[in-house]
Structure 1
Amino acid sequence: MLADIVSTFLVSISPLGESRVGIPLGIFKGLPILVAFVFGLAGNLLVFPLFNTAIDLVHKSLWKYHTYRQTSLWMMRRSKKLLGKHVKAYGFWGLMLFVMIPLPVTGAYMGVIGAKVFGIGTKTAFLAISIGIVISASIITVVSHLVS
């Protein structure tokens, strides 16, 4: 059971899965629904402080490298394109709704990038992204339970 909890947590914190994959994985592996939800949610909620801090720490020092700069600009453009209408029009609520939608590329990682691109304050972004993650994880848990 411990290995299943750890894998649920790690998949939920990864940019390839987040809780959208972590929670169903935990349920599929036989974890109780509440355990899968709690550890999937915990992993996904850690994305904001870890990724936000990583961006702040490494962005300035790596900006001088061409490959990093090109990748960063691509991610910023993509984030602006995906989030632009929602965040410009609705601010906090737009960011929350974007993260809440349980689809690929609409999770916490893109939410953090979008918050940086649009200059949304750290506390506001954290709250919007966290609420979006909780709602998304709840939807995923209910759907996974109904399907399993």
Structure 2
Amino acid sequence: MVPIIELRGAIPFGVALGLSPGTAMLASILGNVIPLPFIVVYIRRIFLWMRRRLPKLNSLVDKMEKKAHLKGAKVTRYKYLGLTIFVAIPLPGTGGWTGALVAAFLDMPLRKAVPALFSGVAIAGCVVTFLTYVVQVTIL
């Protein structure tokens, strides 16, 4: 699981390897949501540590923080519903990991951010699984 691809690539890849769409979806959703609470809680500390210990990565940290703030502007208006919708859109840069980064930088409490993130990932998983199934049936 990589942050840019997340389940949007994992589900079609799993189906291509012979997994059923449901199994691929379940595995992808679980793999996607496991790191989310840790990202929400620890990402700011990790970025601070990176700035102090690995100054060569400052530009990467700046880029990630800028991305979180830009994406956060879209989420701020609708709070947790906005976070769910943001994560549910199956496009690159809108997944669970970015959503968790946004939640961390908007100081959303973990107990409210995690259900929104999990819901968004589940919705995205269903959408991607449906699209994968349609493509698979069309090709075969």
Give TM class, smaller chain. 0.7 to 0.9
Q: Deviations over 1:30-84 (max 9, x none)?
A: 1112111111111111130343355255344333243344432321222211230
Check whether the contact 1:23–1:37 (CA below 8 A) recurs between aligned residues.
yes
Residue number in structure 1 paired with 2:101: 113
Greater RCO, 1 or 2 (C-alpha within 8 Å, sep 6+): 2
Structure 2 stretches lacking a partner, 5+ long: none
- Deviation above 4 Å: which 4+ runs of structure 1? none
Residue number in structure 2 paired with 1:19: 7
Residue number in structure 1 paired with 2:68: 79
Q: Of the candidates 16, 23, 45, which is equivalent to residue 28 of structure 1?
A: 16
What secondary structure is seen at the aligned counterpart in 2 of 1:119? coil
Check whether the contact 2:36–2:114 (CA below 8 A) recurs between aligned residues.
yes
Structure 1 stretches lacking a partner, 5+ long: 1-12
Number of residue pairs the alignment of both structures matches: 135
What TM-score does the superposition give when structure 2 sets the normalisation length?
0.85
What TM-score does the superposition give when structure 1 sets the normalisation length?
0.81
- The 2-side partners of 1:83 and 1:59 are apart by 17
The percent identity for this pair of structures is: 25
Residue number in structure 2 paired with 1:131: 119
Q: Which moved more, 1:54-63 or 1:71-80?
A: 54-63
Residue number in structure 1 paired with 2:55: 66
* CA RMSD across the alignment: 1.8
After TM superposition, give the deviation of residue 124 of structure 1 in Å.
1.2
- Matched to 1:113, the amino acid is L
